[in-house]
Amino acid sequence: MKNVLCNRRLKIPLRIRLLRCYIWPILLYGCEAWTIKEDLRKRIESFEMWTFRRMLAVSWTLKVSNEEVLRRVNHRRELLHTIKIRKVAYLVRAKAREI
């Protein structure tokens, strides 16, 4: 997927849609059972920023802040929020089965 996500001929919104369609489901598989602690939260957020930086071809040696990267892709962090929503939905489904 590197060739597609880093392809400069594709617009950023399309690349983000491809990221959300093909990469995130692999990452999110089984996230309902995860225990989100501080170290895992940092790793999830860093993965999200790493993918955006790869799309923009921002080198790790450049002093570009995460906020600047998010501004360039016109996006905000949502991966951790998605995980939390899935965890709550799983708990609601599990509770409904008990009743």
The domain of 40 spans 2-98
**Distance (Å, rounded) from C-alpha 69 to C-alpha 75?**
9
Question: In a 10 Å sphere around its CB, with 0-12 CB exposed, 13-18 middle and 19+ buried, how is residue 54 labelled?
Answer: middle
Encode pLDDT of 39-70 as tens digits.
999 999 999 999 999 999 998 889 999 999 99
The band of 10, judged by pLDDT with boundaries at 50, 70 and 90, is very high
CA distances from 77 to 9, 44, 47, 48, 94 (A): 24, 10, 11, 7, 28
pLDDT above 70: percentage of residues in the chain: 100
Residue 17, amino acid: R
What's the number of domains the chain is made of? 1
Quote the pTM value: 0.85
